[in-house]
Structure 1
Amino acid sequence: MKKSILSLVLVLMLFSCKSTTNTNGKKVLYEVLLQQNDGGGNINFYEILTESKEIKMLQNDKKLKGKISTDDLQQSNFVILNMGQKPTGGYAITVESVTETDKNIVIKVKEINPDSGAMLTQSITYPYTVVKINSKKPITVQ
């Protein structure tokens, strides 16, 4: 049981640190600011924050302190990905890809379910992820 819990923690840490790389001097298109297996909403939904007053609410979150600058209020949008209530641990929600077109930003979301037969925490969880999009273009989530 300790091995599976340790494996789950390692996987979540890997996903929580994922962001695109900046290899050609261009601005990074997106960053995963926070990925947690608990603390999200009760239902599955994606929320796009574009207004300064909405983004300021994120700045006040203890887990996001120091990750959102004043410039981000004018230059970035944010997306909250909620997976909803899950019966056990082992679930996660993350970004599969982010693509910029001439007109918008397209985010492909990946929901991760635990392997069948895996040893899991037996408590209800609420997985969620907060993503910073370094653009003010309209966002579509798939």
Structure 2
Amino acid sequence: MKAKQWIAAALGVQLLAAYPAAAAPAASPSHAATFAANVYVNGEEMSLLQAPILVGQRTYVAAEDAARILEAEWARSQNTGVLKLSDQQSYTFGLADGKVTVNGKAVKDGQGAVVQSGRVFLPLRWLVEQAGGKIAWNAEKRAVEVMAAEHEGGLVLLTADQLTKEEQAYVESVRQKQGIYHQGNLYVIARGESPNPGYGLQVTHTQWSWEQLIVYVKLTKPEPGKMYTQAITYPYIVAKADLPSYTTVVFLDADTKKPLFAPQQ
């Protein structure tokens, strides 16, 4: 299965020379210049929280905007900032010394953060390429186009006869209790005890989101007016996820878009 996402950040016709150098504290490059930008994520416009800046012809975006573009988490603690894409992929920026680490390891060619007027800006191209994506200038559109990495593999639903005896034993050990279980690349999504066969589970679709495979699961309910045998059932789905390195899988409720089986408020 292949999937591709794209993000187009339309920069407009403004050039660096059209803007005066922005004032910056001692820790920031004095030649940084701000410019207007619109961002489109999969064709839908995203409003940036802060205008990007250009530093040495490189585009930097506010850390909060970088997190939204890459669908990551941003956290700042004194002189350190961490951008976390997944449990296996994170970038740590030293805001005072300019050092960068990837997954806890220092990198020589890492591009550091820029602090301007108290706000942290991160290098857009470097982050996108680190995440496995590509970024290029589209002269016709006057836009920077960011393409997420193409992914091989995905989620394959399985029936009992496609499992080994060991896998069948594992499924039997977990299928009656609600939850998401996995052993290696084998996943069991169990709804738990249900009053009749009208209750079930259905994978509606999957979606690649950078280094994450999102699986949408619908909790089906009895059809109105249809008679069902009153018998306790334990609906479950068995699947295998063929995932590239540094990729995680997340299961979401197809209706609420929240984590599957999350406690209801």
Q: Distance in 2 between matches of 1:110 and 1:49?
A: 22
CA contact (8 A) 2:175 2:188 kept: no
Tell me the TM-score normalised to structure 1 length.
0.53
**1:29 maps to 2:163:** no
Q: 1:85 matched to which residue of 2?
A: 193
Q: State the shift of 1:42 in Å.
A: 3.4
Q: State the shift of 1:48 in Å.
A: 3.2
Q: 1:48 is aligned with what amino acid?
A: H
Instruction: From 226, 238, 249, give the equivalent of 1:139.
Output: 249
Tell me the TM-score normalised to structure 2 length.
0.30
Instruction: From 175, 183, 188, give the equivalent of 1:49.
Output: 183
Q: 1:71 matched to which residue of 2?
A: none
Q: State the shift of 1:104 in Å.
A: 1.3
**1:128 maps to 2:236:** yes
Change in CA separation of 1:92 and 1:34 when aligned onto 2, cut-off 3 Å: farther
Q: State the shift of 1:110 in Å.
A: 1.0
CA contact (8 A) 1:48 1:139 kept: no
Q: 2:130 matched to which residue of 1?
A: none
Q: State the shift of 1:103 in Å.
A: 1.4
Q: Distance in 1 between matches of 2:211 and 2:152?
A: 18
Q: State the shift of 1:141 in Å.
A: 1.1
Q: 2:213 matched to which residue of 1?
A: 105
Q: 1:82 is aligned with what amino acid?
A: A
CA contact (8 A) 2:195 2:232 kept: yes
Q: 1:43 is aligned with what amino acid?
A: K
- Comparing both structures, which one devotes a greater share of its residues to strand? 2
Q: 1:133 is aligned with what amino acid?
A: A
CA contact (8 A) 1:104 1:139 kept: yes
Q: 2:207 is aligned with what amino acid?
A: T
- The alignment's C-alpha RMSD in Å is 2.6
Q: State the shift of 1:130 in Å.
A: 0.5
Q: 1:16 matched to which residue of 2?
A: none
Q: 2:250 is aligned with what amino acid?
A: T
Gaps of 5+ in 1: 1-19, 51-76
Q: State the shift of 1:29 in Å.
A: 2.2
Give the 4+ runs in structure 1 shifted more than 6 A.
none
Q: State the shift of 1:47 in Å.
A: 1.6
The structure whose Rg is larger is 2
- Comparing both structures, which one devotes a greater share of its residues to helix? 1
CA contact (8 A) 2:154 2:213 kept: no
Q: 2:236 is aligned with what amino acid?
A: Y
Q: Distance in 1 between matches of 2:175 and 2:241?
A: 21
Q: Distance in 2 between matches of 1:89 and 1:32?
A: 20
Q: How many residues align?
A: 90
Gaps of 5+ in 2: 3-150, 161-171, 253-265
Q: 2:179 is aligned with what amino acid?
A: F
Q: State the shift of 1:27 in Å.
A: 5.0
Say which structure, 1 or 2, has more relative contact order (CA 8 Å, 6+ apart): 1
Q: State the shift of 1:88 in Å.
A: 1.1
Name the % identity: 23
